[in-house]
Structure 1
């Protein structure tokens, strides 16, 4: 029996805004974009990880009531969700490239724990850590 994680979801305040950020600024690709009434299933994927999708989901019906959706949006906007991690070969070069693409960083690359890392947020407030991959022994 084969098992694995296929989609991890993020809450976003505006799916079009999130889609533009992940595709135009980070270089992800659209995997699925379908609608069922007011509900939209929107996923993107990193070009080097075709078996994994990142869901860009707006809190609200049919999954959440209006009050819960509002609370979730507020929590995300405050940066209270755990950060996601983007692994890169060269943190400084990726920082320069993404900065040039309009990504606003919350932390420039610094050396911590023997690896370079930097931080940024998406337009909804979801935090990201960008960490330089360590060479394998």
Structure 2
């Protein structure tokens, strides 16, 4: 059986991203490894209690992996919120929204009732889009 283990977000600054996703969103650090003699840091976070899934906070690389023009495009698309979206679910959106707001998350969209549940949106410091949703009982989390 194939399972999803992790996904990644391009981030402009791994340290800033780490603080945001752990201190403000409430994720926990899963892996933080810098390869010796290389400028590469493998940094992952994930939700407490869901150990089999994580988000890689991936610095946008330069040469030789990406030329300068491509790197700039990735940075620009990320900053605009078009490099991907993280979808988070909660059993109590009002509580999660309040806690995250109190920790400094600035929501771009407050919780709003929609056909599939109550949905809200925020962006991380790099510009990545994230959704926080409480799914309705008749809309399964699959």
Settle same-fold status: TM greater than 0.5: yes
1:85 is matched with 87
Q: Which has the higher mean CA deviation after the structures are superposed, 26-35 or 16-25?
A: 26-35
* Distance in 1 of aligned mates of 2:47 and 2:128: 17
1:25 partnered with 2:27: no
1:47 partnered with 2:48: yes
* Distance in 1 of aligned mates of 2:91 and 2:82: 27
Report deviation, 1:22. 0.5
Report deviation, 1:27. 1.1
* TM-score, length-scaled by structure 1: 0.92
SS of the counterpart of 2:132?
Answer: strand
* TM-score, length-scaled by structure 2: 0.88
Report deviation, 1:114. 4.5
Long gaps (5+) in structure 2: none
> Are the aligned partners of 2:118 and 2:136 in contact in 1 as well (CA < 8 Å)?
no
Report deviation, 1:80. 1.6
2:11 is matched with 12
Can you list the C-alpha shifts for 1:47-90, whole angstroms capped at 9, x where unaligned? Answer: 12100110000111453233212210110101123422110111
Structure 1 stretches of 4+ moved >4 Å: none
> Are the aligned partners of 1:60 and 1:66 in contact in 2 as well (CA < 8 Å)?
no
RMSD value, Cα: 1.6
Report deviation, 1:33. 0.9
> Are the aligned partners of 1:28 and 1:45 in contact in 2 as well (CA < 8 Å)?
yes
* Distance in 1 of aligned mates of 2:76 and 2:116: 34
What count of residue pairs does the alignment treat as equivalent? 136
* Distance in 1 of aligned mates of 2:84 and 2:22: 22
